[in-house]
Each structure stands twice: as structure tokens, then as C-alpha cells.
Amino acid sequence: MNSKESTALAKTYQKLKFLIVDDFESFRMSVKQMLHAFGAEHIDVSSNGKDAVQKCTYERYDIVLCDHNMGEGKTGQQVLEELRFHKRLKHTSLFILVTAETSKEVVIGTKEYQPDGYIAKPITKAVLQKRMDALILQRQTLMPINKELDLENYPKAITLCTQEINKGSRYKSWCHKTLAHLYFLTGDFQHAQKIYEDILTKREIIWARLGLGVVQMAQQKYLEAIEQFKHVINEDKNYVEAYDQLSTAYEKLGKQKQAQSTLQQAATISPLSIPRQQKLGVLCTKNQDLEGAIHAYKSAVKHSNNSVHDSADNYLNLGRSLCDSSEGNDTEQSKEDAEEAINILNTAAKKYDNPNVKAKANLIQARVHIGQNDTEASKAAFAIAEALIDEENIDSDTGIELSKTLYRLAETQRAEQLLHNLAKRFESDQTVINRIEELLDEPVSLRQKIKARDLNKKGISFFEGGLLTEAINTFKDAINETPKNPALNLNLVQVALKSFENKAPDVTEIEVLQQALENVKHIPAQHRQYKRFITLSKKVSELAGKNKPSIT
């Protein structure tokens, strides 16, 4: 640093607003004295993360110096996470983590929220000044660009970045990275791609490789993007953002199992990210991996305490997964899952004190109890939920939860009526319609769905091998698990009709087909199996007509 920069820095300290966050008063006072010695005048302190977030809500600080481990409250990572989430940390501000933490999960977890700097404890005046001087000098140089970023004036920020690069700035790398990202944000993928590719032709830079993959994702070039993300992971096994992006790319290609496996690797490396655990829970549920879903949602609940991502849904989703796991068997593990589900749902109802959360928690509890053959406890939980629900104006989420529970309590007609009412009220919301359709098709436990789908695959395999009798019997077994599943019932009808090409059916065999069609007559005209249902119904009707005994 030259003398001109040193003089300018001394004046700069006087103008800056600092916030020191640490649970130890002696540390706060020590750092405050050091900053005073550097020339700082406006210095506030906080003894915990909650107070720090509140102070940042009402006051704009230029520099926040925050400890990571502050006892039972928010960690430094959670303070940074919340400030970023609510956009209370400007691009023109600096967030510096002061920490003695060295564990891999804390270091990688914090890095994901991109603090502007780290300073390791114990801290000395010389170390603090050297680090602060460097960060403040960078902040001053890049201030015009960051001001435009705060205003979301991206075209102006692009111009300023380009000027800074052309000047031969010492922060050229930051400018290139920011410039490419700005082009991406403005939808100019071609320019963003060119910057990343130009950098990669000179040397391998990991953020440029990742950025190139992200651009290719936006261009729907998923296979090319996958290669970029794999390249990043080969370079750095702990680069969790590459795993996240790779998982999303697999999802786009319909490779749900690979998406889950990749995200599980990211969650193992960096388990403190709640959004990642939540997404993993959803993926595991889609893939019918109950054990994986329970593990992900448990992690979300465990690490979300004091986090901005703390949510009743973390508890309800864990309760649902444990409920599904406890149904259908009487093992010790099933009893433990049921007990844990009840505890976690009680915690949710108490912690969030919200009628909607309480209603959903009791609906899930009603299913848990009936799964353990405790009818009285199930009725009691259902009665609590019913008292909290206005069925005519029910929201789609609670309505689907209620329908699922009604099916489980064998109130099929009421469940179907409620789903039909919801379908009318939410007919323009395709996501809700898909969930309603899925429940109408398979109003059974996840374990039954898993068993039915395995049997369906087996039945199809028999059919493809020409073993029609074995296929028919296997589809019948699958229908016993999920009686209203349209695909299974129609598979049974189709295979049986094929078998009748060489052998005339008897009355009983035709009645089996008629019952299969009766099982799925509830599907609406918009259902993906409706045309097949109509076609097969006509064939069975014709067959039944031919098979009528003649009147003499």
C-alpha cells in the first residue's frame, strides 16, 4: 500500500459504521479499541445474533465483524444467512466472520453464504488492521459498481465493470466474475459464456467452469452442463454448489435417482444448508426412499433452530415421512417411528401456535394412530383437526391432507367429494390438480404404493415375456394394494383381453374385468388414462354382450 492510500484509509475509517457481534464482552471491547485506534468513530456492538439482525434491519452498517459461535442463539453463519435472505446486507457493505471454528462442516457451510472475509481468532491488532485495510481498499475501489448492484442497475454496473477491467485493475478477477454474472442476470447468455470460455482458455478457474455450466443449463444444454459440473467436482470435491447444479441437471433430464444421490453427496459435505436438506427430502419422497426422506427432514429440523429457514413444514414433512414409515407393519422400528412422529408433530403444533399447522399435525397424527391400530387416539386427533377446519373455504394443502386422512379412516366417499370440490376451486392451478389426481389414483400408504409399483413392473415383465396368466395374477396382487390405481386396473384388463384371443372367457373372468373398470370410473375426462379407459370399456362391453346366454 502506498502512502496516498494509507492517508485516504485513515480518513475512511472515520466515516465508516461498524457493528461488532460477539457473545464475550471482553472481545467486543478489545476489537472496539482496535478499531478506535485505526480511526473509527461509529462503532456499535451486539452480544447475540438476534440483536445483530435487528440492528442491521434499522441501521446500515458499512462493516459487520461477527463471531461464529455465540452460545445457544444464532451462529455467525445464521446471521449472514438471514441478512442475505432478507437482502439487508448491501453489496457496498462488508460482512467479516471472526472465528475460531475449524470444523469442515462449519467452514464449508459458512463459505456457501459468501462472507467478504474471515479473520481467525485469536486476533491481534496487526492482523486485524492488515486484513481490514485490504478489504476497505477493495471496497473503496469497487464502490461505484456495488452501488449500481444495490440499485439493480445492471447495465450501468456492466459498463463500470468493463471500465475497471480496461484500467488494469488489481481486482480484475472479481470484475470478470461479476461481469459474467451480470450478463447472465440480464439474459445475455452469449456474452456470459464468452467471458467464461475466454478465461478457461488461459487457465482452469473453478468459478468460470461452474459459471459456464450454469449458462448451459439456462440454454437447456443439460448434457454439456453436466460435464462442466463433473469437471468442477473432479477439481474440488468440496465445491458443493457444483453438486447442487449437477443434481438439478439430472432432474431436468428426468434422472431422479441420480439427482437424489448427487444432492446427498452435497448434504454430506455441507449439512448445515436447510434449503438443500428440504430439497433432498422432496427428492427422496418422490423416489419413495422413506429412509432418505426421514434423514433429510431430521437434518432440516435439527439445523433450522434459530435459522431464517426454520419452518413448520420441516416438522410436518418429517411427521409425514415417519407416519408412512410406521404404517403397515408391527415391528419395533414401526412403533419407534410412530412414537417419534407423534412427538415431532406435537412439537410443531406447540412451537408454531397456528391453527392451520395444528390442524395438519393432528390429521397426520390421526393416520399414525390408525396405522398402529389405536382407533380411539386416531378419532381424538381427527376431532381436534376437524374443529379447526372450515371445509368450505379450506386451502388446497390442508384439503389434500384432510382427504388423505379421510381415505385412511375409510371415509372414501367424503374424501372423493372433497377432492372433487378442491379440483373445481383450484382448476387453474396445475400443481394442485396433479396432487389431487395422484391422491385419487392411489389413496393408500407409501408402503402400499411401493409394493404395488414393484408388482406392476413384475406384471409388465411377465406380459412382455408372453406369460399372460402370470401377468394377470401379478396385476391382481398389485390391485389388492392400490385398488383404485387406473394404470394397474387397465393393465389387468388389457392383458386379460389379450389372453382371450386364444380362449373364450367365462362369466367370472368378464366380471373381473368389469370390476377393474368399476374401480377406476372416478377418473375425470382430463386424466391421462381416460382415453384408454373408454377404449377398454367398449371392448369389455362388447365381450360381455357376446357372452350373454341366448334366450330360447
> In 304-411, which residue ranges form alpha helices assigned H by DSSP?
312-326, 332-352, 355-371, 375-388, 396-408
Nearest 5°: the CA angle 418, 359, 389 is 50
Instruction: List Cα–Cα distances, 497 to 383, 513, 525, in angstroms.
Output: 47, 9, 23
H or E element in which residue 533 lies:
helix 530-546
Contact between 268 and 238 (Cβ < 8 Å): no
Strand order in the sheet with 117-120: 42-46, 17-21, 63-67, 94-99, 117-120
Q: For position 547, what pLDDT does the model report?
A: 66
Contact between 517 and 537 (Cβ < 8 Å): yes
Q: For position 552, what pLDDT does the model report?
A: 42
Predicted structure pTM score? 0.82
Render pLDDT for 523-538 as a digit per residue (tens, 0 to 9): 777 677 889 999 999 9
Among 243, 234, 286, 248, CA closest to 267: 243
pLDDT along the chain (552 residues), means of 10: 70 93 94 94 95 94 94 91 92 92 80 87 91 92 96 96 94 96 96 97 96 98 98 95 97 96 96 95 93 96 92 96 84 91 96 94 96 94 96 93 93 88 87 85 76 89 93 93 89 93 86 92 78 92 74 44
H or E element in which residue 395 lies:
none
- Maximum C-alpha span of the chain: 118
Residues of the chain by 3-state class (helix, strand, coil), percent to 5: 70, 5, 25
Q: How far apart are CA 341 and CA 275, in angstroms?
A: 22
Q: For position 526, what pLDDT does the model report?
A: 67
Q: How far apart are CA 318 and CA 280, in angstroms?
A: 12
- Give the relative orientation of helices 274-286 and 290-303 as an angle to the nearest 10 degrees: 160
SS3 assignment for 185-217: HCCCHHHHHHHHHHHHHHCCCHHHHHHHHHHHH
One-letter amino acid at 285 equals T
Q: For position 551, what pLDDT does the model report?
A: 45
Displacement of CA 7 from its chain's centroid (Å):
49
Q: For position 328, what pLDDT does the model report?
A: 67
**To which residue does cell 487457465 refer?**
203
Render pLDDT for 222-256 as a digit per residue (tens, 0 to 9): 999 999 999 999 999 999 999 999 999 999 999 99
Q: For position 166, what pLDDT does the model report?
A: 95
